[in-house]
Structure 1
Amino acid sequence: MYWRRCGTSGAQPSLHHLVHAARNAPHYAFSHWTPPSPTPSLIFRMGGPAATANPDVRSYGHLLDPKPWYKNSRLILLNFWIVILLVTSSTNGYDGSMMNGLQSLPQWQQAFNHPTGGALGLLGAIQNIGSLSALPFAPYIADGLGRRSCIILGACLMIIGTVVQTASQNVHMFIGARWLIGFGLNFAATGAPMLISEVAYPSQRGQLTSLYNSLWIFGSFIAAWTTFGTFHIQTSWSWRIPSAIQGFPSVIQLALIWFVPESPRWLMYKGREAQALKILAYYHARGNEKDPLVEYEYQEIKAAIELDREVAHTVGWLTLFKTRGNLKRVRIIVAIAFFSQWSGNGLASYYLNKVLDAVGVTDPTIQLLINGVLQIYNFVICVFASLWCDKIGRRKLFITATAGMLATWVAETICFAVYSKTGIAAAGHAFIAMIFIFSTFYALAYSPLIVTYAVEILPYNLRSKGFTIFNFTICLSLIFNQYVNPIALQNIGWKYYTVYIAWLSFELAFICRYLVETKNRTLEETAALFDGDDQVALISNKASDRFTEKTTEIRVDADEKSSI
């Protein structure tokens, strides 16, 4: 087996053919082929074709290990470390469901003087106000000190916050502790999803990053069943125990984060290329630094980062708004962040007890039970969507989810209105059923995919800043929701639901018009969808030059071995 000017009329072998040959016949694959001098017309597309030609074919597909990941001890270990990172989202999900459950506990209500309206809104929103306060600092910690350092700082702050929250003697102490938890959570929530996406095995990146936000639901149902279990404790420990458990995920992270690999992309950006290559090789190719997949990843990342460095002096916050490609990114990121919180889901996430009260379900035990079952159900749907996101596609899942939420919300509004006007119990029961159906559609896309999509459409040099914009939007939308929802429900009842019908209609139109498909692409390849082929060509040319040098070395080595 040897290379000539294969194909027709002097066509050059592609990069992927070359590395495929190197893997299957390493001693002589290049012995009869001289790499050409790189020219503008000859681009070894490390990020091009897969992003522009056939989006359903991975450009790196034939370089992957053909064995299942569970038969590769290094991938099992890598995925275990990624699970430690996924825990971050559980802390966030735990908080929302815990506050939902605490509102159904008479002991908590008594301890904090039965808060309603604005006071209740502040107790729910203060955690996100804390997250908002950390936003100016989180991207600089993530880019300057590393993704892991950002997570470590966040875990330490959250542990301190949960200790204070558990020991609270009055509402002011409780509010201060929740602010600190939110402040720390933002650091961890900035570093964790970026590290997952940057260290994961290429074929698993989409699923694992999607599982990150799915673990929000995991934390949510743990909190729901914890508050259900402590309901019959007659002392203040009925709410202190759930408060203490909130810090458990951070304790696990702080104990094990030291063993989690740092982002190869961050290491390369800091000039620690040998360490980055070692991590890629150790986890993606059983330690083989010459493996074609490792070479592919290494050269592609290096080319992209070198290009970033060339324009680093011009990269700042305003860069997010200077080019058409970046404007498209920001438009989508801001939109899906708002959509994830302003689709009506906030009513069931934070004020389910108030909603159930409004349809005649007032027994605290029944409310806690419904909350617990709903969270388990949501978690199952989220995991399904996470694992199938690369097969079904992001765009299809988002459109299906938004259309389904709109249809279900209309039905919810009708049931709520009928119950409010007639008091018919069947309408109230139908309303509860609609909550579950609505959650099914929401969990198909808005729980698992919003973080995945936000991270993967951002180039490395803007990833932390763009993700900060995403988190900022989430915090703003949550604060608004948590203040407005209880007040609006109290004052206008079922009519408040009609506002979300109009908003969900807008969401569906936006998703259909602007959301692009990104499945089955590397992080670098996705740039072609927003910046066009010119940007990818620059990266590809750089990677081509280095890969040409590499194939020359292989050819020389093969010639030497052939002569022995």
Structure 2
Amino acid sequence: MKQIGNVYLIAAISIVGGGLFGFDISSMSAIISGDSYLCYFQQGPLNADGSCSGPHADVQGGITASMAGGSWLAALISGLLSDRFGRKKAIMIGSVIWVIGCIIVSASQDIAMLIVGRVINGFCVGICSAQVPVYISEIAPPTKRGRLVGAQQWAITWGILIMFYISYGCSYIKGPAAFRIPWALQMIPAILLFFGMMFLPESPRWLAAHDRWEECERVLILVHGKGDPDSPWVAREFREIKEWCEIERQAKAVTYLSLLSPKMINRTHIGLFTQIWSQLTGMNVMMYYITYVFTMAGLTGNTLLVSSSIQYVINVVMTVPALLYVDRIGRRPTLLVGAALMAIWLFANAGILATYGTNPGPGGVDGIPEASVSVTGAPSKAVIACSYLFVASYAPTWGPVSWIYPPELYPNHVRGKAVALATSGNWAFNFALGYFVPPAFVNIRWETYIIFGVFCVAMFFHVFFIFPETAGKPLEEVMEMFEDPNGIPYLGTPAWKTKNYYSATARMEHGEGLEKKMSMEASPERHEVVGAKEQV
């Protein structure tokens, strides 16, 4: 079967796996406030006005969080799956699981069946969210790696936007079809992903790790050499992969406990916290439960749903700058700016709700207990504006970089399991927060924003002192930053001293490690540098 060699097309197909998570987010956020959903899954008495109140707050939290619970377990397993069968096949397995989950969810007869289906959907999301970044990072050239891996976040934002409008359109349908149709339509992208992956090559680094050197070289020629077997860039890349594989073969067999060894613990904790902090920003909470927030601001009916959809449009549009500039700007500045801005908007929302909000009583606004604060007039517009600005701050910063950064930190032989562990942290906290937020809005109200604002301040300082810059460096050279030149065990280069070597000039001055391997004055090597420069 003829394989695709264009890295942008490879990324475009594989990131559909990320888009599945986006479909899930907005299919819930748009549906949980609809009468069809609320009446079908009604628990307890009706509201005072005779309308359906739907599941209890803690049960709705459990329904929402069940997908993340399945994703946590699957993310851990995905490392074993990916190392055994390959990055490509792991993603294809995930797409099949998604179709099975969608069938169960769309046919749900009660809350228990809905939760089971969402857990199965979570298995797919856990596998794809962990292994799509690994796959793309291992196949992409260094100077394009950030934008290509970050495109997974863009796919998530498109999935959120598309499914929201599908769900919004279906909200005019009477009866259970209003939520069954959107949940069933989620199968389509997974089917396209499965068949699209058939035309993509396997990760060259995975092939090398399994001694499939001829296939590895063919993939490098196809993707990096654009079909030219004599490409200097391919020769250099192939040689570096081979050298690192030889070094890694001397290591012991990799288990998850290996990631806690003194040599790995620093980068393991950085990768894990990158994913944990991305959840503790509160972004996915804003996506799942934005209808509650805007109900507090006095929006109802179609106005509520349309205002929520504007947030999703902002999310799509504001992710684009990251794809264009994240390699040039670097990972550290992007994360630091994002954390600072998000803290500002979260504290602003907390202050507005605390100062101008009123308590609507135990029933909440419009009979929604989670909408436990009511604001009107200018303060309500300020809450909406801060919510939009929060999304606009997250979308070009922590959104894409949380997927880009972890796969860049690890050696080839542990990357699959290490990224799986980091991604499992994402889903563990996604689960916890999805379950926590509805009761939090009911019980601690506006203080919920204070909690996430404090998290954003904490992640700012954590990134500044601990997270090194990885932009513009081949994966094999990132490893050198974690090896201390003075022999102090595994402390590595201080994070604030690391630099971005995106530009060709900076990469040549830095040497990309070439000085350690060859003389820059020798003619053949000089040609390689020129070839690499042209590839950039």
TM-score (normalizing by structure 2) = 0.84
1:109 matched to 2:38? The reply is yes
SS at structure 1 position matched to 2:198: helix
Q: CA deviation at 1:88?
A: 0.6
Equivalent pair of 1:221/1:375 in contact (CA under 8 Å): yes
Q: Which residue of 2 aligns with 1:241?
A: 181
Letter in 1 for 2:55: P
Q: CA deviation at 1:87?
A: 0.6
Work out which of the residue numbers 308, 317, 320 in structure 2 matches 1:380.
317
Equivalent pair of 1:227/1:239 in contact (CA under 8 Å): yes
Work out which of the residue numbers 247, 269, 276 in structure 2 matches 1:331.
269
Q: CA deviation at 1:419?
A: 3.3
Work out which of the residue numbers 337, 346, 353 in structure 2 matches 1:416.
353
Question: Counterparts of 1:5-20 in structure 2 under 5 Å?
Answer: none
SS at structure 2 position matched to 1:169: coil
SS at structure 1 position matched to 2:171: coil
Equivalent pair of 1:347/1:355 in contact (CA under 8 Å): no
Q: Which ranges of structure 1 fall in alignment gaps of 5 or more residues?
A: 1-73, 555-564
Q: When the two structures are aligned, how many residues end up with a matched partner?
A: 475
- 2:440 and 2:402 mapped to 1: Cα distance? 27
Question: Counterparts of 1:388-407 in structure 2 under 5 Å?
Answer: 388-407=325-344
Work out which of the residue numbers 288, 292, 297 in structure 2 matches 1:359.
297
Equivalent pair of 1:213/1:447 in contact (CA under 8 Å): yes
- 1:249 and 1:542 mapped to 2: Cα distance? 46
SS at structure 1 position matched to 2:6: helix
Work out which of the residue numbers 393, 405, 426 in structure 2 matches 1:453.
405
Alpha carbons of structure 1 residues 490 and 134: separation in structure 2 relative to 1, 3 Å: same
- 1:543 and 1:529 mapped to 2: Cα distance? 14
SS at structure 1 position matched to 2:399: coil
- 1:285 and 1:334 mapped to 2: Cα distance? 34
Q: CA deviation at 1:133?
A: 2.6
1:490 matched to 2:442? The reply is yes
Q: CA deviation at 1:272?
A: 0.8
Q: CA deviation at 1:249?
A: 1.4
SS at structure 2 position matched to 1:295: helix
Q: Which residue of 1 aligns with 2:50?
A: none
Equivalent pair of 2:91/2:128 in contact (CA under 8 Å): yes
Question: Counterparts of 1:73-112 in structure 2 under 5 Å?
Answer: 77-112=6-41
Q: Which residue of 2 aligns with 1:508?
A: 460
Q: Which residue of 1 aligns with 2:111?
A: 171
Q: Which residue of 2 aligns with 1:17?
A: none
Work out which of the residue numbers 370, 377, 380 in structure 2 matches 1:428.
380
Q: Which residue of 2 aligns with 1:60?
A: none
Letter in 2 for 1:506: A
Equivalent pair of 2:225/2:234 in contact (CA under 8 Å): yes
- 2:56 and 2:516 mapped to 1: Cα distance? 60
Q: CA deviation at 1:81?
A: 2.4
- 2:8 and 2:387 mapped to 1: Cα distance? 34
- 1:259 and 1:248 mapped to 2: Cα distance? 18
- 2:476 and 2:142 mapped to 1: Cα distance? 11
Question: Counterparts of 1:36-435 in structure 2 under 5 Å?
Answer: 77-113=6-42, 114-313=54-253, 315-324=254-263, 326-361=264-299, 363-421=300-358, 423-435=375-387
- Deviation string 1:450-495 (CA, Å, 9 cap, x unpaired) is 1110011111111111112111111111111011110010112112
- 2:32 and 2:423 mapped to 1: Cα distance? 26
Equivalent pair of 2:143/2:327 in contact (CA under 8 Å): no
- Deviation string 1:351-407 (CA, Å, 9 cap, x unpaired) is 11122222222x131222122111111111112112210111111111111111111
Q: Which residue of 2 aligns with 1:518?
A: 470
Letter in 2 for 1:196: I
SS at structure 2 position matched to 1:525: helix
Q: Which residue of 2 aligns with 1:12?
A: none
Equivalent pair of 1:158/1:181 in contact (CA under 8 Å): yes
- Deviation string 1:387-431 (CA, Å, 9 cap, x unpaired) is 210111111111111111111111111122233138442111110
**Which stretch of structure 1 is more off in the superposition, 123-132 or 492-501?**
492-501
Letter in 2 for 1:504: C
Alpha carbons of structure 1 residues 321 and 257: separation in structure 2 relative to 1, 3 Å: same
1:442 matched to 2:400? The reply is no
**Which stretch of structure 1 is more off in the superposition, 430-439 or 281-290?**
281-290
Equivalent pair of 1:419/1:427 in contact (CA under 8 Å): yes
Alpha carbons of structure 1 residues 280 and 423: separation in structure 2 relative to 1, 3 Å: closer
Q: CA deviation at 1:135?
A: 3.7
Alpha carbons of structure 1 residues 498 and 286: separation in structure 2 relative to 1, 3 Å: closer
> Sequence identity, in percent?
26
- Deviation string 1:232-269 (CA, Å, 9 cap, x unpaired) is 11132211121012122110011121111000111111
Equivalent pair of 1:418/1:424 in contact (CA under 8 Å): no
Letter in 2 for 1:322: S
Alpha carbons of structure 1 residues 393 and 237: separation in structure 2 relative to 1, 3 Å: same
SS at structure 2 position matched to 1:493: coil
SS at structure 1 position matched to 2:446: helix
Q: CA deviation at 1:201?
A: 3.3
Equivalent pair of 1:197/1:455 in contact (CA under 8 Å): yes
Equivalent pair of 1:84/1:256 in contact (CA under 8 Å): yes
Q: Which residue of 2 aligns with 1:70?
A: none
- 1:211 and 1:251 mapped to 2: Cα distance? 20
Letter in 2 for 1:406: A
Alpha carbons of structure 1 residues 274 and 409: separation in structure 2 relative to 1, 3 Å: same
**Which stretch of structure 1 is more off in the superposition, 283-292 or 153-162?**
283-292
Larger radius of gyration: 1
Equivalent pair of 1:90/1:217 in contact (CA under 8 Å): yes
Q: CA deviation at 1:194?
A: 1.0
Q: Which has the higher contact order (CA 8 A, sep 6+)?
A: 1
Q: CA deviation at 1:289?
A: 2.0
**Which stretch of structure 1 is more off in the superposition, 420-429 or 433-442?**
420-429
- 1:448 and 1:150 mapped to 2: Cα distance? 22
